[in-house]
A and B are shown apart, each in its own frame.
Chain A
Amino acid sequence: MKKNTSYEGIVLSQEEVKAIKKDRLRFSKNKIPSSLTLLAILVNVFYFVSIYKTNLQQYYKPAIGISVLYNLMFMLFSFLSAEGIKNYKKTYGIVLIVIGLLQLLRIVYFPLKGITTPVSEVSTAKVMEVGQFIRTLIYLIGSGALLIVAGVIGYIKSVSLEKYRKEIGEEKPS
């Protein structure tokens, strides 16, 4: 259904729309970055499901515990940040950017090592097949990018709201 841009004869000027858009931030949640973050968590779930279903014991044994722990921490911090950024808390914008960068950094450790390390000294087969490598690569890049975008949008909107609140002399809600 098409949006009604005028209603009961009310037509807003560009200046009015600009001012109202700013003012609207006070009463609406920062939903876009929050939703992007939740999406990033989902993409990360695809990543670790994809990686754990392979028999990686030989290579992955020592690091598997750390990997599980990291994924749990990732989900926890991402979820907290999603809630925080929804309420225009700019710190969580930075946290999201950092988590996003860490996601990209994970590529260097695994799956990159998986595609370059042989299963055993006598075999030429690699720990990870090409198809699986590409899938995991997409998942990590995807979740990392989503988090960085969410962090940037969230931070910009939070700062913009903070500035506007100062302008109108409104106290920050607890």
Chain B
Amino acid sequence: MAELKLQHLEKVYDNKVKAVHDFNIDIKDGEFIVLVGPSGCGKSTTLRMVAGLEDITSGRLIIDGKDVTRMPPKDRDEAMVFQNYALYGHMTVYENMAFSLMLRKVDKNIIHQKVMAAAEILGLTSQLNKKPKQLSGGQRQRVAMGRAIVRNPKVFLFDEPLSNLDAKLRGAMRREILLLHKRLKATIIYVTHDQTEALTLADRIVCMSMGHVQQIGTPLELYDTPANLFVASFIGLPPMNLFDVTVDGDKLVCEDFTYQLTGEQHALLADYDGKEIVLGVRPENVVENGTIQFNITNNENLGQNTLVHGHIGKKKVVAKLHYWATYKFGDQINIGFDRVHFFDKETTNAIR
């Protein structure tokens, strides 16, 4: 396994489009890093630069102390798992898994031992003689992972590996990947646009937007203390409710409600008195006691939770209640917020 250093990585395409801006991260041995962000944010480009499938325009990539920036992919000792599996249709599962080692002219008996061990880990032993077309999506993805495992690479790279699977299978595969990581203790860089995958799998998440790193931190850090408005609205499902408010002494004032600050919050916002800021409230921090009038439009009952959609004035708001609520269109309730976040309106950074 390996330690990686990505230092000031940048990618500029021939048409002058800058896909990745000054990407920096030190990845520890055995760490599970998830790059998350919306489509086009540069996460896959970053992964492909690490894999060697894209040239690095500037910056350095160091694996285990060795600069591999200009090294061809085959010499980097990395294995990549793709979204579309990239399996050879005419080969059996066994042959697919053995192929990379066969190309390296490794002894067939050793290849066999490694393939069988990987198949055992992934529960593919009974599928080894089948062709990929005879397998389900989840099994195919496991074969793709198996192909990576047999190589025992320094780094595993996953490019949205679960995107082609249905929701149920995605959940199962997520747990398998997590177990695999615990078992192999491998260094993994995983790209996804699915925040659930990011939050459940990662040791650390790199949240990206428009080619820029927005925040690097543990899942809890990103959820609990988002660095800016982008992270606040991207991480969390449903996303955070955001209100433009003005700081007025120990109150936050907006068109439709007033929020009373605590002493600590008042001190935090002392420099912003009279200025506009953004108030962020996660749906799960909306509580059913307070003074803010909430006009309900509809309910989404999810079993143990209910998402209640509605308006505070003209502003759309979502509340997540931890029981089976039965509100109807037109119902009005008074709500409050038990936890809030503040963001500078100009810089969009969190106020801490």
Q: A residues engaging B (CB < 8 A)? A: 1-8, 10, 12, 16-17, 20-21, 23-24, 26-28, 173
Contact = CB atoms under 8 A, between A and B. Distances in A.
Given A1-B105, A2-B105, A173 B113 contact: no
B131 to A, nearest CB: 13
A2 B115 CA distance: 21
B105 A4 contact: yes
Contacts of B108: 24
Contact of A4 (B92, B104, B112): B104
Contact of B110 (A1, A7, A26): A7
B128 A12 contact: no
Contacts of B152: 8
A24 B106 contact: no
22 contacts: A1-B105, A3-B105, A3-B106, A3-B107, A4-B104, A4-B105, A4-B106, A4-B107, A5-B107, A5-B110, A6-B107, A7-B107, A7-B110, A12-B107, A12-B109, A12-B113, A16-B109, A16-B113, A17-B109, A27-B94, A27-B95, A27-B115
B94 A10 contact: no
B129 interface: yes
A10 B164 CA distance: 36
Interface in B65-112: 92, 94-95, 101, 104-110, 112
Contacts, number: 49
Nearest to B93: A27
Contacts of A21: 109
Nearest to A4: B106
B99 to A, nearest CB: 13
B110 A6 contact: yes
Given A4-B104, A8-B152, A27-B94, A173 B109 contact: no
Contacts of A10: 110, 113-114
Given A8-B152, A10-B113, A23-B112, A173 B105 contact: no
Nearest to A17: B109
Nearest to A1: B105
Interface of B: 92, 94-95, 101, 104-110, 112-116, 128-129, 152
B105 A20 contact: no
Which DSSP category, helix, strand, loop or mixed, fits chain B's interface? helix
Contacts of A20: 109, 112-113
Contacts of B109: 12, 16-17, 20-21, 24
B134 to A, nearest CB: 12
Nearest to A8: B152
Interface centre among A3, A4, A6, A7 (most CB of B within 10 A): A7
A17 B110 CA distance: 9
Query: Which 9 A-B residue pairings sit nearest by Cβ, starting from the closest?
Result: A27-B94, A20-B109, A7-B110, A5-B107, A7-B106, A24-B112, A4-B106, A1-B105, A20-B112
Nearest to B92: A27
A26 B130 CA distance: 12
A27 B106 contact: no
Nearest to B151: A8
Nearest to A11: B110
Contacts of A17: 109
A20 B108 CA distance: 9
Contacts of A2: 105
Given A4-B107, A27-B95, 12 more contacts: A2-B105, A4-B105, A4-B106, A5-B110, A7-B106, A10-B114, A12-B110, A20-B113, A24-B108, A24-B109, A26-B129, A27-B92
Contacts of B116: 23
B129 A173 contact: yes
A30 to B, nearest CB: 13
A76 B235 CA distance: 65
Contacts of A26: 128-129
Contacts of B92: 27
A2 B109 CA distance: 15
Contacts of B112: 20, 23-24, 27
Contacts of B106: 3-4, 7
A122 B309 CA distance: 111
B135 to A, nearest CB: 15
B42 to A, nearest CB: 34
A173 B94 CA distance: 15
A7 B117 CA distance: 15
A2 B106 CA distance: 9
Contacts of A1: 105
A21 B108 CA distance: 9
Nearest to B98: A27
Given A20-B112, A20-B113, A27 B129 contact: yes
Contacts of B114: 10
